Structure 1
Amino acid sequence: MPKQNSIAITGAGIAGLSLAIRLRQTGHSVQIFEARPREASGEGAFLTLAPNGINALRALGLAERVSSLGIPTTGIEILNAAGRRLALLDEREAQRQAGAASITLRRADLLEALRQTASAQGVDIRYDHALIDIERKADGVTLRFGNGESAHAHWLAGCDGVWSRTRRLALPASPEPLYTGLTGTGGFLDCPHVPSSGGVLRLMFGESAFFGYIKAQEGPVFWFDSFTLDEETAIGRPDPAALAARTRAQHAGDAAPVRDIAAAVTSVPRAYPVFDMGHLPRWFDDRVVLLGDAAHAVSPHAGQGASMAIEDAVVLAACLTAYGAPSRAFRAYETLRRDRVEHIVRISRRRGAKKQAKGPVALFLRDLLLPLLLPFDAKTTQAVQRYRADLDPLVLPAA
């Protein structure tokens, strides 16, 4: 018979590890089951944690540690393919008002900090455990895995990403993820000739693709690329050398230093097709609740995916403390989170659409209108970033 406070989590990513840490801090027994092997669970290049994400980490006791691992990101510069500045957003004052700086860091470094903390708190993390079935019982749930093992818990948190097996088993009527038409690549390059970006994330609407980079004074270039690609090719794991060649070719005509950074790319381990979720009617049933991309996959164009996952964890843990019974806590959690994350999904879709503009007229209008519209977009972003999950997660955020 599972204990009343025993919780199983599927997925050892940002959402799952954050939830495990917070639940251990509030007295729960937690096991995490990850489908992938340990060495594959840290895939991904880098991400930016916005002030709301850093503040959510305060509830886990990790804000300062994680902030020390990355590059303080104080602004965003947007350029066209010729290198002409379309906009420069200095975010330092907005970050001061939000109570935290944005940090750009390797995804693997964030995951390792979360893993180390979870393990130190006694969280049992098991890899190579692909979920194949959920059996509900009067006293909890039984999970069955592809390796023949099983586990029992009072309830289950599905934190297993956009292609969540937990969601498909627990809520089979849920919609499938939608391919946005864009695929991303990225990585790290030693480019001593490229100057520091001074804490600014530089984004270029290139001739054929969207490119972004940030570089600290002595560190490598953190770069990413976003381009249109048909879904079949995108999900087919393109060849690393072919991906690198594509990156070099599609930025060869762009202004320096983007073309120079792209020219130095010799291998890209994998591509990341960008999916998001349509409206999910429910995020929970009596024994299962979804968090992070499993509930509300956010495409990366708003820079909020990781921050939303950490917020989810903090808010759900607070709801469990406040309401006790899982079903009541799950309902309160969904009420508190749904409008906010769906708002951010919409923002991200709009930004992604701008990256797909083609033809001289569309490009002319984008370059003309973007500087006029960006201040309004920035205010929306700043409102999102001001939310403090660490202070009172049971209060509905303004955005």
Structure 2
Amino acid sequence: MKNQKRIAVVGAGLGGLSAAGFLQRAGFDVTVYEQAPSFSRIGAGIILSANVMKALRRLGAEGALVEAGIKPHSYISRAWDSGEKMYEIIFDAASEERFGGPYLNIHRGDLHAVLEHVVTPGTIIFNSRLIDLKETSHSVRLVFDNGVETEADIVIGADGIRSRVREFLLGNEAPRFVGSVAHRAIFATESLRGFEIPDCTKWWGRDRHILPYFMTSRRDEIYAIGVVPQATWDSDAASLPSSRDEFLAAFDGFHDDLRRVLEAAEDVSVWPIYDRERNDRWSGGRIVLLGDACHPMRPYMAAGGAMAVEDGAILSRCLATFDEPAEAFRCYEATRIPRVADVQRISIENSWMRGPTDTDWFYCYDPCTAPLTPPS
């Protein structure tokens, strides 16, 4: 595609910034529109597996991410009651060589602090909430709530599960509550009063699970996310305040090693978990979706961010390869949908690394070199 095309990316999350970074390196004129007023160190932890890190290495971000986060010694699965070790994967020099990159835990705020530098200064326009898209025969007009109107040759919707771009493309359909909520907390390691824990452990219960892990190499901060069943979510809020007592009650009967961690939890909140029924239409006209905007993932495989970054890398390659947007989008969908479908299925099953697992197909993948599937 001719690189003078103007591309508007809606959403400055992991997928949007990755796509913008790759597209700028391919010579495209890219602007990213983000509804938040700025990036800040709030939120949660995130896991960046080797397939993600290989892509972010090409954006020049690997070193800063490793410095901000932690390369955990291992990932451990343990039984909820006995504490029996069900599975362990060691992350060392040998695994990095095999997978082609490291496995990293990091705070989302620290991740964003690095990723905002993978695009040229001035690329991100904050305080820009999309309210309208108008496609013409030669461009797309974007209208934002701050009064700004602009035109682009291509619009990339990277604006999450409640994507406004998706609404304009596919219609207004609410996400699906999956019948589970996530209790989340971030707290200082010193609250454990000397009790030592592994870098990353998932505790598997009959109908619930919980994953506490460190987010920095200093091991001074712990993120814990525990998923439990809940029949309904009746609030319009993105999250609600919870408490340490509620967190402990949700994992009553779990092994003492876990409960000692939860007894230190502070600032607990509870978040509904949503997804959508699979829809393989990711594009139309000059508009295309990536990440949770087209294939939201349940957070049970720690793969939602990975899929968004892979999307951005593959989409940028397709746009650089084909002159017509429709042809580029068909190649992107043909390349991405089979892999994404596998990850969605495993995430719904909540089976990833519960026991002995073939991880090579996931971690060894490199979206910057993987073959593109020709458009049909």
| TM-score, normalising length: structure 2 | 0.88
Q: State whether residues 7 and 28 of structure 1, in contact with CA within 8 Å, keep that contact through their aligned partners in structure 2.
A: yes
- CA gap 1:297/1:123 in 2 versus in 1, 3 angstroms: farther
What are the equivalent positions in structure 2 for 1:325-344 lying under 5 Å apart?
A: 325-344=324-343
Unaligned runs of 5+ in 1: 355-369
What are the equivalent positions in structure 2 for 1:137-286 lying under 5 Å apart?
A: 137-172=136-171, 176-192=174-190, 193-199=193-199, 201-205=200-204, 209-215=208-214, 218-233=219-234, 235-237=236-238, 239-240=240-241, 242-268=242-268, 270-286=269-285
- CA gap 1:60/1:141 in 2 versus in 1, 3 angstroms: same
- Deviation of 1:239 after TM superposition, in Å, equals 4.0
Unaligned runs of 5+ in 2: none
How far, CA to CA, are the matches of 1:39 and 1:112 in structure 2?
Answer: 7
In the other structure, the counterpart of 2:309 is 310
Aligned-partner SS, 1:30: strand
- Deviation of 1:98 after TM superposition, in Å, equals 1.1
What are the equivalent positions in structure 2 for 1:1-399 lying under 5 Å apart?
A: 4-38=4-38, 43-92=42-91, 93-118=94-119, 121-172=120-171, 176-192=174-190, 193-199=193-199, 201-205=200-204, 209-215=208-214, 218-233=219-234, 235-237=236-238, 239-240=240-241, 242-268=242-268, 270-351=269-350, 374-375=355-356, 378-379=357-358, 381-390=359-368, 392-395=369-372
- CA gap 1:234/1:344 in 2 versus in 1, 3 angstroms: farther
- Deviation of 1:296 after TM superposition, in Å, equals 0.8
- CA gap 1:52/1:39 in 2 versus in 1, 3 angstroms: closer
Q: CA RMSD for the aligned pairs?
A: 2.5
Q: State whether residues 186 and 266 of structure 2, in contact with CA within 8 Å, keep that contact through their aligned partners in structure 1.
A: no
How far, CA to CA, are the matches of 1:110 and 1:238 in structure 2?
Answer: 21
Q: State whether residues 240 and 270 of structure 2, in contact with CA within 8 Å, keep that contact through their aligned partners in structure 1.
A: no
Q: State whether residues 234 and 272 of structure 1, in contact with CA within 8 Å, keep that contact through their aligned partners in structure 2.
A: no
Q: State whether residues 76 and 89 of structure 1, in contact with CA within 8 Å, keep that contact through their aligned partners in structure 2.
A: yes
Task: Count matched residues.
Answer: 365
Q: State whether residues 141 and 152 of structure 2, in contact with CA within 8 Å, keep that contact through their aligned partners in structure 1.
A: yes
Runs of at least 4 residues of structure 1 off by over 6 A?
Answer: none
- Deviation of 1:108 after TM superposition, in Å, equals 0.9
**Higher helix residue share:** 1
- Deviation of 1:196 after TM superposition, in Å, equals 4.5
Q: State whether residues 83 and 256 of structure 1, in contact with CA within 8 Å, keep that contact through their aligned partners in structure 2.
A: no
Paired letter, 1:191: T
- CA gap 1:208/1:316 in 2 versus in 1, 3 angstroms: closer
Q: Percent identity?
A: 25
Aligned-partner SS, 2:21: helix
- CA gap 1:83/1:21 in 2 versus in 1, 3 angstroms: same
Q: State whether residues 56 and 307 of structure 1, in contact with CA within 8 Å, keep that contact through their aligned partners in structure 2.
A: no
How far, CA to CA, are the matches of 2:86 and 2:178 in structure 1?
Answer: 25
How far, CA to CA, are the matches of 1:104 and 1:117 in structure 2?
Answer: 19
Aligned-partner SS, 1:38: coil
Q: State whether residues 207 and 250 of structure 1, in contact with CA within 8 Å, keep that contact through their aligned partners in structure 2.
A: no
